[in-house]
């Protein structure tokens, strides 16, 4: 009777240890961080275990422990835990340190902060006292050989009580076919906690996340085991033989500290349950390994592969609905496609609708609980009867070993005209994609011209070239004029005789104009003296007669040679004679006579200027 009772209590203890690891368990999925030390009084020469635990997630790689006053900290290793509290599943990750006291005294382990998903979590400070060895009370953290240690160190004994199996639903599969994987951990009469999820090196396959582990009891060859079952889906990614495993689970074995009792037998109060209740166990890491399995993977047949193959491998069902089937033009119709079944839904590419008669919005795709849904809004643009064409879904049926195409539809939509004034309020009408059609243009000649433009006389050469000739003639004249000016100016510079001749007449006219006031003043002597001077100067420059050689006889000869009329020469001689008398014989000359003489002089100079070249 006592034996049965003890066994029951042991099983209950296992469950309690596994499910309720600490009294500070957190609410499932709430994140919190805490530090726990296994004792608040440490004896010099012994050690204490400091555990930094992050509850609610395992998304933390490392915690850096700050330098601790009075202790040397040694990192022992991390551990993960899975807990079910009142039916709620949660996880935690711990970082374990061994604290070795350096000197006696009272120390504070400060608050430690960690960053998780951008948020900071902080633990509370702890106070630990280090006491001398003599002051240590019995049953605290002082190391002591556990009576249970000897038998528990026996590998064979542990192997009998802790076992793990790995099983695949099938030994052969197709590439990308999901194969269920079951890993079972069998534990009997052993206190184990902090077990991790199974670890498998995924070479040649993809392993899904493990679902929530199941826990139950199972009779194996007449012995009752506590079983923790892990389930996942394995998807091979290459053909050929692939090795699945070995699978590894790690945990901590609880070993009794201070009493040398056999953990596998004894009285009710000698059991681990009560020992654990009084916190007299220490943890020993344990690794459980299962042998690898082999899976034969076949490739998908290349023959008869549909062009619209979705990539789905397994066994699927396909359903399509369209609603409403009676709308106004511009109103949306929702097309809903659902693919469900066994197989990797992530790899399934959902069918797409393409039809120019509809405005088609981008689809929304969701994958939940073994089914993948696609919702797409399509908008019929023109009134009448519109037909959403049949939609096909092709996948590889692993049971039949061939490709299968499921077709749904077509769906006939009755499209009513839009209400008056609502034409431009149709949903998404403004965003309607521009459909570019290839335009074909007509070809013909350009129409006749209405105005003849500038009509030119085609027969007349002058008519066609007149303007050009006119411009050219004018241009040539102007050009010639300027060129002449250039030549004249050049000769003035290079030919002094020409320069004198050119300047003679203008100089004479200028000096003549200065004589006019003398006529009015009545100064006959001065008038005639200057008149003769002007005349001599002109003749010298114009006919190139040397100064002093202007006697009347010689002058007459020269002028006659230059074809100056004889009467003009005679007139000139008269002027010279009159001038001589006025200057040297003081003959009185009236003003009218002087005026006549002046005009005669001008006339003679003009005549000579014209005739003498």
Partner 1 sequence: MRFGALALIILAVLAGPVFADKGEDFFAQAVAKYQKADYTAAIALNERLLKEAGVESPAVYFNLGNCYFKQGRLGRAILNYLKAQSLAPRDADIKANLAFARQEVEQYEADKQGKESGRWRAYFRSLSISEFKWLAAAAWMLTGIICLVTLFAGWPMKRVVLCTGSAAVVSAYILIALIGAFLEASGQAVAVQGTEARFEPSEQATVYFKVFEGAELKVLRYKDEWLKVQRQDGRSGWIPAQKAGVL
| Residue ranges binding partner 1 (CB under 8 A) | 443-460, 462-473, 475, 479, 482-483, 486
Minimum distance, C-beta of residue 499 to partner 1, in the bound complex (Å): 18
Nearest residue to 104 (alpha-carbon basis) of 169, 42, 161: 42
Q: What does each C-alpha distance from 276 to 135, 281, 515, 611 come to in angstroms?
A: 25, 6, 154, 155
CB nearer to partner 1: pick between 139 and 466: 466
Neighbours of 504 (CB within 10 A): 22
Minimum distance, C-beta of residue 453 to partner 1, in the bound complex (Å): 4
CB nearer to partner 1: pick between 476 and 566: 476
Minimum distance, C-beta of residue 447 to partner 1, in the bound complex (Å): 8
CB nearer to partner 1: pick between 145 and 476: 476
Minimum distance, C-beta of residue 479 to partner 1, in the bound complex (Å): 5
Minimum distance, C-beta of residue 392 to partner 1, in the bound complex (Å): 47
Give the whole-angstrom CA distance, residue 323 versus residue 325: 5
CB nearer to partner 1: pick between 390 and 456: 456
Nearest residue to 598 (alpha-carbon basis) of 541, 534, 554, 537: 534
Provide the H-helix boundaries in 38-174: 149-152, 155-161
Ramachandran region, residue 368 (left: φ > 0; alpha: ψ -120 to 50; beta: rest): beta
From the centroid of its chain, how far is CA 562? 102
Residues across the chain = 613
Minimum distance, C-beta of residue 478 to partner 1, in the bound complex (Å): 9
Give the whole-angstrom CA distance, residue 421 versus residue 411: 29
CB nearer to partner 1: pick between 89 and 482: 482
Minimum distance, C-beta of residue 482 to partner 1, in the bound complex (Å): 5
Listed in order, strand segments (DSSP E) in 210-347 are 214-220, 223-236, 240-244, 247-256, 281-290, 293-298, 309-323, 326-328, 333-343
CB nearer to partner 1: pick between 134 and 446: 446
- Cα–Cα–Cα angle for 255, 256, 261, nearest 5°? 120
Minimum distance, C-beta of residue 440 to partner 1, in the bound complex (Å): 16
- Let me know: does 532 contact 576? Beta carbons within 8 Å: yes
Give the whole-angstrom CA distance, residue 388 versus residue 471: 78
Give the whole-angstrom CA distance, residue 293 versus residue 200: 11
Rounded CA Rg of the chain: 64
Give the whole-angstrom CA distance, residue 512 versus residue 144: 154
Q: Which two tokens stand for residue 542?
A: 């114009």
Minimum distance, C-beta of residue 324 to partner 1, in the bound complex (Å): 54
Nearest residue to 30 (alpha-carbon basis) of 88, 104, 96: 88
Q: What are phi and psi of 465, to 5 degrees?
A: -115, 5
Minimum distance, C-beta of residue 445 to partner 1, in the bound complex (Å): 4
- Let me know: does 226 contact 14? Beta carbons within 8 Å: yes
Minimum distance, C-beta of residue 467 to partner 1, in the bound complex (Å): 6
Structure letter (DSSP) for residue 32:
E
CB nearer to partner 1: pick between 399 and 459: 459
CB nearer to partner 1: pick between 122 and 473: 473
Nearest residue to 378 (alpha-carbon basis) of 338, 414, 427: 427
Provide the H-helix boundaries in 71-122: none
Query: Taking the CA of residue 46 as centre, how many other CA atoms within 13 Å lie in the half-sphere pointing to its CB?
Result: 23
Minimum distance, C-beta of residue 494 to partner 1, in the bound complex (Å): 13
Minimum distance, C-beta of residue 310 to partner 1, in the bound complex (Å): 51
CB nearer to partner 1: pick between 424 and 441: 441
CB nearer to partner 1: pick between 436 and 448: 448
- Let me know: does 321 contact 374? Beta carbons within 8 Å: no
CB nearer to partner 1: pick between 27 and 471: 471
CB nearer to partner 1: pick between 477 and 586: 477
CB nearer to partner 1: pick between 108 and 473: 473
């Amino acid at each position: 009777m006592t034996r049965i009772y003890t066994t029951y209590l042991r099983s209950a203890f296992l469950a309690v240890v596994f499910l309720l690891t600490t009294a500070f368990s957190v609410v499932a999925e709430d994140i919190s961080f805490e530090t726990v030390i296994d004792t608040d009084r440490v004896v010099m020469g012994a050690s204490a275990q400091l555990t930094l635990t992050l509850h609610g997630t395992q998304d933390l790689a490392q915690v850096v422990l700050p330098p601790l006053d009075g202790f040397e900290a040694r990192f022992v290793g991390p551990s993960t835990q899975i807990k079910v509290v009142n039916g709620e599943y949660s996880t935690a990750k711990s970082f374990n340190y061994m604290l070795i006291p350096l000197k006696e005294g009272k120390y504070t382990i400060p608050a430690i902060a960690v960053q998780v998903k951008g948020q900071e979590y902080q633990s509370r400070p702890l106070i630990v006292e280090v006491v001398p060895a003599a002051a240590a009370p019995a049953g605290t953290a002082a190391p002591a050989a556990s009576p249970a240690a000897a038998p528990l160190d026996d590998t064979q004994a542990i192997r009998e009580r802790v076992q793990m199996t790995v099983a695949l639903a099938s030994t052969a599969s197709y590439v990308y076919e999901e194969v269920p994987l079951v890993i079972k951990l069998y534990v009997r009469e052993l206190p184990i906690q902090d077990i991790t999820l199974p670890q498998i090196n995924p070479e040649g396959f993809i392993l899904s996340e493990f679902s929530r582990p199941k826990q139950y009891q199972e009779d194996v060859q007449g012995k009752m085991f506590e079983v923790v079952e892990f389930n996942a889906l394995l998807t091979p990614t290459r053909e050929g033989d692939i090795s699945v495993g070995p699978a590894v689970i790690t945990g901590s074995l609880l070993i009794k500290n201070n009493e040398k009792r056999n953990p596998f037998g004894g009285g009710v109060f000698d059991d681990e349950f009560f020992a654990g209740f009084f916190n007299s166990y220490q943890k020993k890491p344990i690794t459980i390994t299962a042998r690898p399995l082999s899976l034969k993977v076949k490739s998908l047949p290349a023959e008869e592969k549909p062009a619209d193959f979705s990539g789905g491998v397994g066994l699927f069902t396909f359903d399509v609905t369209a609603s409403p089937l009676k709308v106004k033009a511009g109103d949306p119709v929702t097309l809903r496609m659902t693919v469900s079944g066994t197989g990797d839904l992530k790899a399934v590419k959902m069918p797409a609708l393409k039809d120019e008669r509809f405005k088609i919005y981008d689809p929304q795709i969701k994958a939940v609980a073994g089914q993948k849904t696609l919702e797409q809004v399509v908008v019929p643009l023109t009134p009448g009867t519109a037909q959403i064409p049949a939609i096909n879904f092709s996948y590889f049926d692993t049971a039949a070993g061939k490709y299968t195409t499921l077709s749904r539809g077509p769906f006939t939509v009755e499209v009513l005209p839009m209400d008056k004034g609502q034409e431009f309020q149709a949903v998404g009408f403004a965003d309607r994609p521009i459909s570019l059609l290839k335009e074909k243009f007509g070809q013909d000649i350009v129409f006749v011209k209405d105005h003849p433009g500038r009509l030119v006389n085609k027969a007349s050469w002058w008519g066609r070239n007149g303007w050009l000739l006119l411009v050219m003639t004018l241009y040539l004249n102007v050009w010639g004029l300027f060129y002449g000016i250039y030549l004249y100016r050049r000769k003035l510079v290079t030919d002094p005789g020409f320069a004198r001749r050119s300047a003679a007449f203008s100089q004479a006219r200028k000096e003549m104009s200065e004589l006019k006031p003398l006529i009015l003043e009545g100064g006959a002597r001065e008038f005639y003296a200057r008149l003769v001077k002007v005349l001599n100067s002109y003749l010298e420059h114009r006919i190139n007669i040397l100064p002093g050689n202007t006697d009347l006889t010689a002058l007459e000869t020269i002028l006659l040679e230059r074809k100056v009329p004889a009467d003009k020469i005679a007139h000139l001689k008269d002027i010279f004679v009159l001038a001589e008398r006025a200057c040297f014989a003081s003959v009185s000359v009236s003003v009218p006579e002087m005026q006549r003489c002046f005009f005669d002089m001008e006339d003679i100079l003009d005549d000579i200027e014209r005739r003498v070249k």
